[in-house]
């Protein structure tokens, strides 16, 4: 369709309301005030529960280990918990991980989740969508692991590892354990 003129939008709201017929259109009330009581609602709010994260809350942790849809399952997040426990850190993730039920909503990073500023964020299997990366722009260092070399997450990280996370995670756990042993001895 080709439009040659500026589009015109008719004002139908005011004239269809009998309460304001014949009044000055500019000053006419468009939305009349409606008073509602509890009886007008079928649903009632009985109590509001705030979901508690498991372990350290992501917005309180210095290190956050984050998982995305590439983790493939709730079981996949168990290995992230192992890393987090070793580092004394928190586990977070993307909205897709929340939608799959792999992590709780309280652990979601991003514009619709929590905005965090950890010293270190380690990301596994998350593509790097803006909605998610906006949640950690204040992080000091970001390490990202993803099998897709073109993943957007590599544009926002300090260290990027292009590999299968299933290969990287066991090596990382082994190395952390070795280094913790060195610190202890």
Ligand X SMILES: Cc1cc2nc3c(=O)[nH]c(=O)nc-3n(C[C@H](O)[C@H](O)[C@H](O)COP(=O)(O)OP(=O)(O)OC[C@H]3O[C@@H](n4cnc5c(N)ncnc54)[C@H](O)[C@@H]3O)c2cc1C
Residues 134 to 173 in contact with ligand X, rule: CB under 6 A: 135, 146-148, 151, 164-166
**17/57 with CB nearer ligand X:** 57
What would the x/- binding string for ligand X be over residues 55 to 94, using CB under 6 A? Answer: -------------xxx-----------------------x
The residue count for binding ligand X (CB under 6 A) is 27
CA distance 121 to 93: 11
Q: Which of 181, 173, 182 is nearest to 85 (CA)?
A: 173
Q: How far is the CB of 72 from ligand X (least distance, A)?
A: 7
Q: Tell me which of 119, 131, 175, 177 binds ligand X, using CB under 6 A.
A: 131
Q: How far is the CB of 147 from ligand X (least distance, A)?
A: 4
**Which residue ranges make up the site for ligand X (CB under 6 A)?**
68-70, 94-97, 108-113, 125-127, 129, 131-132, 135, 146-148, 151, 164-166
């Amino acid at each position: 369709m080709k439009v040659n003129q500026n589009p015109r939008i008719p004002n139908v709201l005011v004239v269809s309301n009998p309460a304001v017929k014949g009044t000055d259109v500019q000053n006419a009330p468009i939305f009349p005030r409606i008073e509602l009581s509890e009886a007008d609602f079928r649903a009632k709010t009985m109590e509001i529960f705030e979901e508690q994260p498991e372990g350290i809350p992501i917005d309180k942790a210095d290190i956050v280990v984050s998982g995305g849809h590439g983790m493939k399952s709730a079981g996949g997040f168990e290995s992230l918990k192992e890393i987090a426990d070793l580092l004394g850190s928190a586990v977070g993730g993307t909205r897709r991980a929340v939608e799959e039920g792999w992590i709780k909503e309280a652990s979601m990073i991003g514009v619709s989740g929590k905005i965090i500023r950890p010293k270190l964020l380690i990301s596994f299997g998350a593509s790097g969508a803006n909605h998610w990366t906006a949640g950690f722009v204040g992080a000091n260092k970001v390490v990202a692991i993803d099998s897709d070399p073109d993943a957007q997450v590599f544009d926002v990280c300090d260290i990027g590892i292009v590999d299968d996370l299933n290969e990287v995670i066991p090596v990382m756990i082994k190395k952390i354990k070795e280094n913790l042993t060195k610190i202890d001895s």
